[in-house]
Copies of this chain bind each other. A is one copy, B any other.
Amino acid sequence: MTLIVQKYGGTSVGSPERIRAVAERVKAWRAQGHDLVVVVSAMSGETNRLLALAKELAAEPDPRELDQMVSTGEQVTIALLAIALHEIGVPARSYTGAQVAVKTDAAYGKARIEAIDDARMRADLAAGRVVIVAGFQGIDGEGNITTLGRGGSDTTGVALAAALKADECQIYTDVDGVYTTDPRVVPQARRLHKITFEEMLEMASLGSKVLQIRSVEFAGKYNVPLRVLSSFSEGGAGTLITLETEDDMEKPVISGIAFNRDEAKVTVRGVPDTPGIAYRILGPVGEANIEIDMIVQNVGADGLTDFTFTVNRPDYRKVMSVLERIAHDIGAREVSGDDKIAKVSLVGVGMRSHAGVAAKMFETLARESINIQMISTSEIKISVVVQEKYMELAVRALHTAFDLDAAV
């Protein structure tokens, strides 16, 4: 007998009919002899409905009171799921984050879990009950209700699995797993049976929005096997996210291709190539609350250098105005930018032991006459920036070149 933590998101519990379907699924797992802890989000649309009420009263509502309010979304869902389970003969009991208790710090709206008391859950499981826990929420040391921030229900699921030493944490979502790349761009994209935490982090942070990054970090840290499954289709095994294991030696070099259209590139040309220049450029950008992604600095000539970095596209105008303001002070010859770019990344732990991945990537893009504007690498990832209009072509060509296409 195994202990499984399941997490169902807002769409999966978006209506009484959907909640009934989740109850039937839980019943089926239980019938196979598993112990179950089920984490649910608020019904889709509910959190936004509540936030809209608060926004009618204040432009910036008090964070404590906002958490007090939005936490009710999951509280409704846990009770409804318990009612649905009772109705089909499955003993179950629901708990808010405060009741479990999921103890967090007091950072309202983005609280971090500090500890989880498993006594109540263990007692219910021992009594044969399904335990239902409200995702996304906890309680601070003073008894105030906190929330973990958007998508925090994934984190709740992983944290409960870690605390209970569960055999697996299953994240039910509207896709049936993690794909080699977005199937809307590459129809031949394949569902991955297995992927490592590291790879998933790179895939997630690069735009494959299947799982919250924090929950993957958490799962990696506590080594909780994580499985992404569809709550809308039956029978699929989804994608298992775990630590690298021996049989991964047989894994392909590249697990997937991530991409992100939501980027803009900024170049500061002809700045003096002196120590501290990077800070003098990026300091003011950071102070303006603009997040920076890739940074490239070329080797200079004549004591001057060029400096290029990427930001989220919505920040493009803001970053340009910051740079134009400081250009004179830092002695830059020119500031230019381009918001019609995209980033394409190869991700795979296999890269560590296989040379030639970069070469093959660049060769593939060259064959398609796609110019590479920036390159950035990490242990398990190579990212390139290309013109946005070539992005889909680049992804498809790389998908084929690295043998990721599904057999048709």
Q: Which residues of A contact B (CB under 8 A)?
A: 16, 19-20, 50, 53-54, 56-58, 61-62, 64-66, 68-69, 71-72, 75-76, 78-80, 82-84, 86-87, 93-94, 96, 98-99, 143-145
Neighbour of A58 across the interface among B56, B78, B84, B143, CB < 8 A:
B84
Q: Would you call A62 and B80 a contact (CB within 8 A)?
A: no
Q: Would you call A79 and B54 a contact (CB within 8 A)?
A: yes
Q: Would you call B98 and A83 a contact (CB within 8 A)?
A: no
21 contacts between A and B (CB under 8 A): A16-B53, A16-B56, A16-B57, A50-B76, A53-B76, A53-B80, A54-B80, A57-B80, A58-B84, A62-B82, A62-B86, A64-B93, A65-B94, A66-B79, A68-B78, A68-B96, A71-B75, A72-B72, A72-B76, A98-B98, A99-B144
Q: Which residues of B contact A19 (CB under 8 A)?
A: 57
Q: Which residues of B contact A83 (CB under 8 A)?
A: 54, 57-58, 61-62, 65-66, 69
Neighbour of A65 across the interface among B20, B82, B98, CB < 8 A:
B82
Q: Which residues of B contact A71 (CB under 8 A)?
A: 75
Q: Which residues of B contact A98 (CB under 8 A)?
A: 98
Q: Would you call B58 and A69 a contact (CB within 8 A)?
A: no
Query: Bound complex: CA of A16 vs CA of B61, how far in Å?
Result: 13
Neighbour of A68 across the interface among B57, B87, B94, CB < 8 A:
B94
Q: Would you call B69 and A80 a contact (CB within 8 A)?
A: yes
Q: Would you call A20 and B87 a contact (CB within 8 A)?
A: no
- Shortest CB distance A81–B (Å): 9
- Name 20 extra pairs, CB < 8 A, besides A65-B82, A68-B75, A99-B144: A16-B57, A50-B76, A54-B79, A54-B83, A57-B80, A57-B83, A58-B83, A61-B83, A61-B86, A62-B83, A65-B79, A66-B83, A68-B82, A68-B96, A69-B76, A69-B80, A71-B75, A72-B72, A98-B98, A99-B143
Going nearest first, the 8 A-B pairs with the smallest beta carbon separation are A69-B79, A72-B72, A16-B56, A68-B79, A65-B79, A58-B87, A65-B82, A61-B83
Query: Bound complex: CA of A292 vs CA of B86, how far in Å?
Result: 35
Closest to A19 in B: B57
Q: Would you call B69 and A75 a contact (CB within 8 A)?
A: yes
Q: Would you call B94 and A57 a contact (CB within 8 A)?
A: no
- Shortest CB distance A142–B (Å): 9
Q: Given A16-B53, A53-B80, A86–B69 Cβ distance below 8 Å?
A: no
Closest to A54 in B: B83
Q: Which residues of B contact A53 (CB under 8 A)?
A: 16, 76, 80
Query: Bound complex: CA of A210 vs CA of B83, how far in Å?
Result: 34
Query: Bound complex: CA of A50 vs CA of B77, how far in Å?
Result: 10
Query: Bound complex: CA of A266 vs CA of B50, how far in Å?
Result: 51
